Structures are given as structure tokens and as C-alpha cells.
A and B are shown apart, each in its own frame.
Chain A
Amino acid sequence: MKAGFQTVFFKEMKDVLRDRKTLLLMIVLPIVVVPLLLNLLIGFVIKKEQEAKTEVLEYVVFGDEFAPELAKTFEAANGFKKVTLGSPDELVVAIREDRIDFGLVIPEKTAAQLSGQEQASIELHFDNASMGSKVEDRVQDLVEKFNDGLTTARLAKLGVLPGQKQKSLLEPVRLRKQGTGKIREVIGDRIGGMVPYFFIAFCFMGVVYPAIHLGAGEKERGTLETLLLAPIPRHQVVLGKFLAVFCGGIIAVLLNLASLGTWLAIKAGELRGIIGTLIGSIDLLDLVLLALMLIPVAAIFAALLLSISIFARNSAEASTLISPFGIVLIVPAALAMLPGVELNWFWAWVPVTNISLAMKELLKGTMDYTMLVAILTSSTLIAGGLLFFCAKWFNRESVLFRM
């Protein structure tokens, strides 16, 4: 014969898995929606990057007669198209209205400065508010190319012939950067904080609906009252319900990881750049460890949300009470994204943040496995404490029969 909590658990799982909303959040979302969103997002980013590099930039030059060689450099370059505009005063409006991409203003004194071997300044007007804009980089590249030619000519005039001598004159000491971090560490550090954030959010979503359904939902349907009459201790009822909610979170996380893993396996060959490098460096073991990391998070979420749900009078009240926790619980996960927040013996004891940081370390490939003791201990203690509280809560008449 099964223990009471096992009977409750198997019944709750059957009940939860027969619900369309739960299936949608726990199964359809990770299997269909997540890969679809990733495809769209990464496809969009790659497309935008390509567009920014190859897009023909329309520009105007005022005062090109004062630096004709520079003006010719722009005219000869691929991906630039010269257009005309009335006066420099119209530049700001024309850029804002997207009629041109940038404007160059070459002052009158430039001609004398260039011929007199002095330094000249020209103005670049562009939309610096646009994050994806490549105008600055592409103009800078052309100006540098023009400068290189001019520098070579000026030095030759001074008797310094092109080649090694010019290089030694221009850059007496050259700094050669030898980073000790592997490429995976560098990339993992930059974007590794975001990955746990998403997984923790998915875990939360997987737990929410079962918690509401098995707590406040039971009150609402009037089934809790009859369940309380079963001759089993109430802590066994809570344990059965907790395990069902916890499984909801775990199923959501595992499906997300499996879905992501499959997607990575299919897409790894197609993706290049930073994303491609990171994806290529994640192996199956990393995904398994990521899943293990999320188990205590699912336990914490399950115990906490079940307590809130049991307190609520009905599903609507439970949803209202749980919604703010969606934001509150994500904050510690988001802490891992802050610069300077690294996994150490202090952060290893901070719930959710520790998991987030550990996942980041896993992605970087620099995980100190001794920290796992602290992480799992603190998370288990918190989940256990919350579960104990939930069981106590479940014994209070003022909670079960709130008037």
C-alpha cells in the first residue's frame, strides 16, 4: 500500500497533466515557442548585423573643396552614396527624418592645415542614439585609411621611408594583448548571466499553474474540505501536493533544456560569431549540470507558491498574490548579470542568485565544484524551511477556512 503522500502525489499529477493550461505552460511553451522565439531572435540579430555592414549609407559633404582627396576617398568607397542638401543647418533635421545617414562638414581652414602639415578637424554628424548604427565605425575606418596614406606621404617627405622605420616612429612601443581567459570564459562572462535568468523564469512559469490549481483551486472547487477528512496526516497531503508542483517546475525546465539542446545541435553549424562560439562550447554534460542546478530552484518556488496558494481564498486571489513574486524572485536571478558579482563563498549562500551565478560559471567553464556544497545546502535548507512553513500553514484553520 502506498503512503498517503504518494497517493496524493499521483492523483495530483494526473489532475494537473489533464489540464490544457498546464500543458501549454509546461510542454507546448518549451517545445514549440522557445525554439521558435530563439530562431526569430537570432535570425533577426544576424540579419540586422549584416544589414548594418552592407547597407549603402547616404551622406552629404559640405566643404569638400577644402579636402578634395578625403572627399574622393568617400566617393570611391563601396557602400557610400553621396547626396546633396541645401546647407549644413539642415543636417540635424535631415538625419532625424532619415533622409541621409550622416553628414561631413569640412571647415575652410582644412585646406591650409593639410597643406601646412598641421592637424585638421572635420565634423561628423550622425544619429548616435541608434544602437545598431554602424555609421561611426564605417566612417572612422575610411578616415583612418585616408590618414594612413597621408601619414605615409608626410613621413616620406621628411625622409622616413615607408616600412618598418615608419612603424617604429609611429608606434615606438606596441602592446600585444595576451588574454589568459579562454574565449568561452570571455563570452560566458558577458552573456552567461542571461541564460540562468531565462531558465529560472521558465521554472517559475512551470510551477505557477500547478501551485494555484492544487492550493487555492482545491478551496474554490470545494474538494479541499473533503480531502481534509481523509485519515492521513495533513503534512502528507502537503508533501504530495508539493511534489506535484515541484515536478511541474522540473518538467518545464527539463523540456526547456531538451528543447534548447536539440535546437543547439541543429543550429550550431549555422551560427557564427559570439553566439556560435558559445553554443559550440556547451556540451551535454553542461546541460545536465544546468538541469541539476535548477532542481533546488524548482523546490524553493514550489514550496513558496504552494504556501501562497493555500493561503488564498480562490484562484483569482492566488494569481494576484503570486504575480508580484514573479518580479521579486527574478531580481536575485538578475543579480548574476551585474558586473563584479561573481560566485564566491558569500554569494554561494544567497538563494536563487547562487544558482544563477553557478550556472554562469558552468557556461564559462570555470565552475568551482566545492561551491556546490554551499549552493545545494542553502537552497535545500530554504526549500525545506518553506515546505515546513507550508505544512504548518496547512494545519491552520484560519488559512484553510479563511472568512
Chain B
Amino acid sequence: MLQVSSLTKVFRLACSKRARGERDPRERGRRFHAIDGIEFGVRRGLVLGLLGQNGAGKTTLLRILSTSLKPTSGVVLCDGEDLTKNPLEIRKRIGFVSGNTGLYGRLTAREMLRYYGKLHGMAAAALDERIGSLACKLDMDWFLDQRNETLSSGMRQKVSIARALIHDPEILLFDELTTGLDVAASESVLTVVAACKREGRTVLFSTHHMDEVDQLCDSVVIIHEGKLCFEGGVDAMRSQTGESFLDKAFLRLIKPKTEGSTT
């Protein structure tokens, strides 16, 4: 169970980054409230879709959940354990993949997976076995010994997912996983997400593609300008807005907020 309560993240703004014209309502003086009092929970083995426009605060939220950023206030409990108290232990239970695959181009896929496995304290034999099983599962045996810089976007994303899964984490955080991928590559990657759900892992899945939400997510959280504006199931999104298409339902849910913020 992952429980987020009253989560806030405030950044100090550099002078050059302050708005000159129309001000973002999250900008207060020299401070930028990227995440403002967000609360939600996700049960083990479920897929939670994290939706929001560009700059809504999804990546900041995922960075906090992955322990890269510390929250300004609020609490994140991972099976009852506070994320900020012992981040090194929490990291062993979390895997994170971003749209920017973040691979070492000069290493082969196998070398990179070994590197992250070693960083997670895995023994050599167990690590090799794990790499073998992931390669089989993600269909990456044939390019495992190629340098990452020579791989296609889809192949790179598979390596990135394998890196996040190398230490067998309970919770997976996917940030715009299919950005820049073609249909076949996207489908292949989404199959992996579905498999993670079947394996009983908790998945937080940030995306702009509503078909992916429809296909994979058990529940949805919508963030708009750093604040939570919807939490519920996919069906609740439709019923609450009266829209059958999720794209339209999403826009209806954030629209009153958008209008409110500009007046």
C-alpha cells in the first residue's frame, strides 16, 4: 500500500525563471508550489494512472515517490514506512522508469543491468540469473550485448524497464513510458506493465494517452497546477463528467480549474 498525505513540494525560483507576464498561480513570491497538498492511496497489485497536463506536477510527484526529491511537507507511507525516514531501504522496493530512458550509451544492455544489480547489492550468480529471466521476459536476448547507443527507442525503453525491474521491486513508477515510441514498441512496453500488475506489483503510471489508461489502470489521479482534482476509477471519470471518451472526460475535469485559475 502506498499512501500519500498532504504532500507539498515548494521550489525556490531563480530570478530568471520568475514569470514576466501572466503569473502561474503556483508562483508565490520567490517560491513555486509544484505540488500542493496532494492526497491519494494505491493498494498493492493495482495500476494507478497519473494524469495531468504538461507542467502539472506529475514528474515532481513521481520524483518524490522515488525518493530523488524530498517533500517540503506531508507524508508518503510505503507499507506503513515513511519514505523520507529511510530512503535507502525504500529504494530497494521501488523501480523508476522515465520517458527519457536514461541509459549509458557506451555500456551494453547487459553491462548496465549488471551495474544496477550490483548497486542494489545483488550477488553475481543471482544477478546473471535475473538478467537472463528479464531478457527472456522482455524479448531482449538478441540485443543484450549491444551497446545502448546502437539501440532503437523501443529497445532502449525495454532496457530501461529491465533496469527498473532488476532488483525485483514491489512498486513501479513509470513516467510517460511510451513517449516517442511507435505503436509496436508502445504495445510491447504496455504488455510489460500489464505483466507487472499480474505479478502483484503496484504500478504508478504517468501518461497523456487515455487509451493506455483505459487499457491498464484500475484507478486514476488527476493533478492540475499542482493540486489533486480527481481521484477514482476510470468509470467514475466517465460518470462524473458524462463523457464516454476519456480524453473529453479528462478535459472536463480540469477545465473548471483552468478557467478558475485564469480569472
Residues of A with Cβ closer than 8 Å to B? 1-2, 4, 7-8, 11, 14-15, 18-19, 221-233, 397-398, 400-401, 403
Knowing A11-B107, A226-B102, A226-B163 touch, does A397 contact B120 (C-beta < 8 A)?
no
CB distance from B169 to the nearest CB of A (A): 10
13 contacts between A and B (CB under 8 A): A8-B119, A11-B107, A14-B111, A15-B104, A19-B106, A221-B105, A222-B101, A225-B63, A231-B91, A231-B121, A397-B69, A401-B69, A403-B11
- 8 Å CB contact of B89 from A7, A14, A231, A403: A231
Set of chain A residues within 8 Å of B115, measured between Cβ atoms: 7, 11
- 8 Å CB contact of A397 from B70, B111, B118, B164: B70
Q: Bound state CA distance, A11 and B103, in angstroms?
A: 13
Contact at A222–B106, with CB atoms within 8 Å?
no
Contact at B91–A403, with CB atoms within 8 Å?
no
Contact at A231–B119, with CB atoms within 8 Å?
yes
Tell me which of B92-100, B199-207, B229-237, B239-247 binds A: B92-100
Q: Bound state CA distance, A232 and B122, in angstroms?
A: 13
Set of chain A residues within 8 Å of B14, measured between Cβ atoms: 403
Knowing A7-B118, A231-B89, A397-B69 touch, does A223 contact B102 (C-beta < 8 A)?
yes
Name the CB-closest residue of A to B124: A1
Set of chain B residues within 8 Å of A8, measured between Cβ atoms: 119
Is the C-beta of B40 less than 8 angstroms from some C-beta in chain A?
Answer: no
Question: How many of B's residues come within 8 Å of A, CB to CB?
Answer: 36
Knowing A15-B107, A403-B11 touch, does A230 contact B98 (C-beta < 8 A)?
no
Q: Bound state CA distance, A204 and B121, in angstroms?
A: 35
Contact at B102–A222, with CB atoms within 8 Å?
yes
Q: Bound state CA distance, A7 and B101, in angstroms?
A: 21
Q: Bound state CA distance, A230 and B101, in angstroms?
A: 16
Q: Bound state CA distance, A221 and B100, in angstroms?
A: 8
Set of chain B residues within 8 Å of A401, measured between Cβ atoms: 63, 68-69
Q: Bound state CA distance, A230 and B89, in angstroms?
A: 10
Is the C-beta of B136 less than 8 angstroms from some C-beta in chain A?
Answer: no
**What sequence of 0s and 1s flags, for each residue 164-180 of chain B, a beta carbon within 8 Å of any chain A beta carbon?**
10000000000000000
Set of chain B residues within 8 Å of A229, measured between Cβ atoms: 66-68, 91, 94, 96
Ranked nearest first, the 3 interchain pairs of A and B with the lowest CB-CB distance are A222-B102, A230-B119, A222-B100
Name the CB-closest residue of B to A232: B119
Set of chain B residues within 8 Å of A19, measured between Cβ atoms: 106
Q: Bound state CA distance, A400 and B107, in angstroms?
A: 23
Q: Bound state CA distance, A221 and B103, in angstroms?
A: 7
Set of chain B residues within 8 Å of A231, measured between Cβ atoms: 88-89, 91-92, 119-121
CB distance from A234 to the nearest CB of B (A): 10
Name the CB-closest residue of B to A223: B102
Is the C-beta of B184 less than 8 angstroms from some C-beta in chain A?
Answer: no
Set of chain B residues within 8 Å of A14, measured between Cβ atoms: 106-107, 111
Having A230-B120, A403-B11, one finds 4 other A-B pairs with CB under 8 Å, namely A14-B111, A18-B106, A224-B102, A225-B102
Is the C-beta of B20 less than 8 angstroms from some C-beta in chain A?
Answer: no
Set of chain B residues within 8 Å of A228, measured between Cβ atoms: 68
Knowing A221-B102, A222-B101 touch, does A233 contact B88 (C-beta < 8 A)?
yes
Is the C-beta of B12 less than 8 angstroms from some C-beta in chain A?
Answer: yes
Contact at B121–A1, with CB atoms within 8 Å?
yes
Q: Bound state CA distance, A262 and B11, in angstroms?
A: 56
Q: Which of A1, A8, A231 has the most CB of B within 10 A?
A: A231
Contact at B106–A15, with CB atoms within 8 Å?
yes
Q: Bound state CA distance, A205 and B184, in angstroms?
A: 45
Name the CB-closest residue of A to B169: A229
Contact at B12–A398, with CB atoms within 8 Å?
yes
Q: Bound state CA distance, A15 and B119, in angstroms?
A: 16
Which residues of B16-69 have CB atoms within 8 Å of chain A's CB atoms? 17, 63, 66-69
Knowing A1-B121, A398-B12 touch, does A230 contact B106 (C-beta < 8 A)?
no
Name the CB-closest residue of A to B9: A397
Name the CB-closest residue of A to B106: A18
Q: Which of A2, A14, A223 has the most CB of B within 10 A?
A: A223
Is the C-beta of B125 less than 8 angstroms from some C-beta in chain A?
Answer: no
Contact at A232–B88, with CB atoms within 8 Å?
yes
Name the CB-closest residue of A to B92: A231
Name the CB-closest residue of B to A17: B106
CB distance from B124 to the nearest CB of A (A): 9
Is the C-beta of B116 less than 8 angstroms from some C-beta in chain A?
Answer: yes
CB distance from A104 to the nearest CB of B (A): 70
Is the C-beta of B123 less than 8 angstroms from some C-beta in chain A?
Answer: yes
- 8 Å CB contact of B119 from A4, A221, A223, A397: A4
Set of chain B residues within 8 Å of A400, measured between Cβ atoms: 68
Q: Which of A1, A223, A224, A229 has the most CB of B within 10 A?
A: A229
Set of chain B residues within 8 Å of A1, measured between Cβ atoms: 118, 121, 123
Q: Bound state CA distance, A54 and B145, in angstroms?
A: 65
Name the CB-closest residue of A to B94: A229
Name the CB-closest residue of B to A19: B106
Q: Bound state CA distance, A374 and B221, in angstroms?
A: 62
Q: Bound state CA distance, A221 and B101, in angstroms?
A: 8
Set of chain B residues within 8 Å of A232, measured between Cβ atoms: 88, 119
Knowing A225-B68, A401-B69 touch, does A230 contact B91 (C-beta < 8 A)?
yes
